[in-house]
């Protein structure tokens, strides 16, 4: 069993839809959870960063962490074609970024105009 499981997709939705992306993990020691967006042939860009369980909202993005279920989600409201990218979940035991990150495979998201 891999440490972090993420459906690679592709996930295709119409513009304006609410997108739900998620990851499951097996290591209960993970405390810091992140979502990155990666465009083709580019490095990952940090979107959301959360510590422990709970919700965090930033504009059209909402991140949820449920440590009891070892399940994290990213919601994108009012999705735009420019949101089309690969979305990677990542997590770490120590202060987010202080340790190396464990990544999911990434979900390829396509927003259809």
Partner 1 sequence: GAVVSQHPSRVICKSGTSVKIECRSLDFQATTMFWYRQFPKQSLMLMATSNEGSKATYEQGVEKDKFLINHASLTLSTLTVTSAHPEDSSFYICSARGGRVGTEAFFGQGTRLTVV
- Which residues in the 19-48 window bind partner 1 by CB under 8 A? 36, 41-46
Q: Does 103 bind partner 1 (CB under 8 A)?
A: yes
70 three-class SS: coil
* Three-class secondary structure of residue 105 per DSSP: coil
Name the nearest CA neighbour of 62 among 19, 23, 109: 19
Q: Pattern of binders to partner 1 over 53-82, x per CB under 8 A? A: ------------------------------
CA 109, CA 14: separation in Å to the nearest integer? Answer: 11
The residues of the shown chain that bind partner 1, judged by CB under 8 A, are 2, 4, 6, 8, 36, 41-46, 49, 88, 90, 95-106
């Amino acid at each position: 069993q891999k440490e972090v499981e993420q459906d690679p997709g592709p996930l295709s939705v119409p513009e304006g839809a609410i997108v739900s992306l998620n990851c499951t993990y097996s290591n209960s020691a993970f405390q810091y959870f992140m979502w990155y967006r990666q465009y083709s042939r580019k490095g990952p860009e940090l979107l959301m960063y959360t510590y422990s369980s709970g919700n965090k909202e930033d504009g059209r993005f909402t991140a949820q962490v449920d440590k009891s279920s070892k399940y994290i989600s990213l919601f994108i409201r009012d999705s735009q074609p420019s949101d089309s990218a690969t979305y990677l979940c990542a997590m770490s035991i120590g202060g987010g970024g202080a340790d190396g990150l464990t990544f999911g495979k990434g979900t390829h998201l396509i927003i259809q105009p």
